[in-house]
Amino acid sequence: MACRYRAHEIRPEDLPMIAAEALAAGLDTPTLCELAALPRNADTRDLRDAFERALAEAAIELPGPDLARRHALRRLATGLVDGEVAPADLVSGDWWETEVETAEEASFVALIPQRECCIEYTLGLDQRAWARELRIAALALASSPPVAPGC
């Protein structure tokens, strides 16, 4: 959750429920209890602050934004391989701006154009060929060793 939080994949109003689920799973810190008791409509800053304090109390390090983004990229590739994400869904994000460090990440990101209208122009492929190449790159990324533990 720390990676997803840092990658902006979790809305602040969802943090109290995430805290409650963590408590139910056996993770217990004073601030986690406090966060679980907050309403969804609490001030966003209070929710974020409580979540970050709960992570610190549990000795869970908040990853840097670049590392969190790389993990999000891997989850996206896994979603594509598993059929949970359509190739066209990748174009809507700013994935092409992701700072990559591995060949698998670079290959996957290189196939994501900035806009859907640019697929043929930027990649020189038709849509089916692009989707096939994207799935191959996604499989390579999803099956590569993780970039760092914990996310």
- pLDDT tens string 33-62: 999 999 999 999 999 999 999 999 999 999
Q: How distant, in Å, are the alpha carbons of 31, 119, 124, 125, 141 from that of 129? A: 50, 10, 10, 6, 18
User: Among residues 40, 57, 74, which one ends one of the domains?
Assistant: 57
Confidence of residue 149 (pLDDT cuts 50, 70, 90): low
pTM for the full predicted model? 0.75
Tell me, yes or no, whether 151 lies in a domain: no
- Residue 94, pLDDT score: 79
User: Among residues 57, 77, 98, which one ends one of the domains?
Assistant: 57
State which residues form the domain around 41: 2-57
Looking at the fold, whether 72 and 121 belong to one and the same domain comes out as yes
Looking at the fold, whether 11 and 41 belong to one and the same domain comes out as yes
Q: How distant, in Å, are the alpha carbons of 23, 35, 49, 55 from that of 30? A: 10, 9, 13, 11
Looking at the fold, whether 76 and 106 belong to one and the same domain comes out as yes
